[in-house]
Structure 1
């Protein structure tokens, strides 16, 4: 499968996941974005949608926002699982305004001390995102 087909498959899969939350049952990680990226990156793009169909029953709706995370008050939102949508909104705005490498360079040192609070899934998820972005994904 050529790179274009892989890119398209991953983009389609991530679009399918766009309305899903990053966690399930309030404490477990939604592994789908990481798995579909790994499958695509390792030449298994043909299995992406089949795997996603099998995993779909484990996905939950995107959580409701509580309050926007701001440049001034971001520390107050740290560690609060109810704020997942707020963090996603914050990074969506940041990535629309600045290159992803700049956002990563700013936030990586701020958030790295808390990575164990999510069973290291945040750092793993970022690793998958960086690999996809470096491969030309959006």
Structure 2
């Protein structure tokens, strides 16, 4: 299935357009000013931009839009994918840190076991010395 082509009158939030073109909202704002693109505001006062303007300028490709979704939904999908990627990186980092911590824990356990053996040997040695001293007295 090919990506849904934006209708000429598809309007999206400036933040959604920034996500779609993988730039900041400031970049979208500068492009709107530079190319004198039409904008409007929604009922909450947020700035909307026309999808077709960014396709025409070459900042948005049809492949950036998810098949069967509106441009705004495509932006949400893109943000979700970026979040998943960031979480995977974080998981890999934490997995590495966990492996390092487990390795350190194993090393410390081995050292503790060695110290326990040394203490036991010294205890045996002390017992023998005490026995020898008691036998000599």
Larger Rg: 2
Could you tell me the TM-score, scaled by structure 2's length?
0.25
The structure that is strand-richer by fraction is 2
Could you tell me the TM-score, scaled by structure 1's length?
0.24
